[in-house]
Structure formats: C-alpha cells, structure tokens
Amino acid sequence: QSALTQPASVSGSPGQSITISCTGTSSDVGGYNHVSWYQQHPGKAPKLMIYDVSNRPSGISNRFSGSKSANTASLTISGLQADDEADYYCSSYATSWVVFGGGTKLTVL
C-alpha cells in the first residue's frame, strides 16, 4: 500500500501557471474518478481544493483545476499568487480505503 507519487517541489512566478502531478496505479488513481487535492499552509489543517478529479468545492477559485489521464492526476494553478505558496497533497480512493500522495511544496518566486 504505497503512497501516491508527487514531485517534492515545484515553483513559479506570480501570474504564471504550474502543474503538480500525482501518480498512482490502476488500483487507485487509474481505477476511480475519486482524486482529491488539498492545500496546506504551515500550522494549518489541509483545505479541500479539488474533488472527484476536477470538481471545485464552493468558494474555491477557478484558478485551480484538476485532470486525470490513466494512472496520473494533475493539479494546475493558473495566475499564481503569493498566497498559493503552500504544500499540496493529492489523495485517491482505492477500494475501501484512501491513499495520500507524499506532498509537493509550491514556492512562489
């Protein structure tokens, strides 16, 4: 039961777009359209940004978007802002349990 694979870090300048990948297997990411993405600022609880691959909860900016191809899901943040600097985690449903990615630190340059 391995964690999903995310890059350790990504960076971008204000106004740019970045994409964070989340790679799993056919037993999790590839097998279900139940991928979620969370944003976590230091010392805070995670915040749900995307669910079911590409759906945004109420109140989440449309600068955040999600997609999936085969066993890899992606989170794209457009128009980067300083407050987007945070850790991002993906998760996937996996037949009666949930697996998280290792997390990606986003730095806004």
Partner 1 sequence: QVQLQESGPGLVKPSQTLSLTCTVSGDSISSGNHYWSWIRQPPGKGLEWIGYTYYSGITYYNPSLKGRVTISVDTSKNQFSLKVSSVTAADTAVYYCARDGSHGDNDYWGQGNLVTVSS
Rule CB under 8 A: which residues touch partner 1? 1, 3, 32, 34, 36, 38, 45-48, 51-52, 57, 89, 91-93, 96-103
Q: How far is the CB of 20 from partner 1 (least distance, A)?
A: 14
Specify the residue, 10 or 13, whose C-beta has the smaller distance to partner 1: 10
Specify the residue, 56 or 63, whose C-beta has the smaller distance to partner 1: 56
Specify the residue, 71 or 91, whose C-beta has the smaller distance to partner 1: 91
Query: Are 3 and 100 in contact, with CB atoms under 8 Å apart?
Result: yes
User: What CA–CA distance (Å, rounded) separates 96 from 28?
Assistant: 10
Q: How far is the CB of 72 from partner 1 (least distance, A)?
A: 17
23 contacts: CB under 8 Å, gap ≥ 6: 4, 5, 6, 29, 71, 72
Q: How far is the CB of 3 from partner 1 (least distance, A)?
A: 7
Query: Are 83 and 98 in contact, with CB atoms under 8 Å apart?
Result: no
Query: Are 6 and 104 in contact, with CB atoms under 8 Å apart?
Result: yes
Q: How far is the CB of 41 from partner 1 (least distance, A)?
A: 13
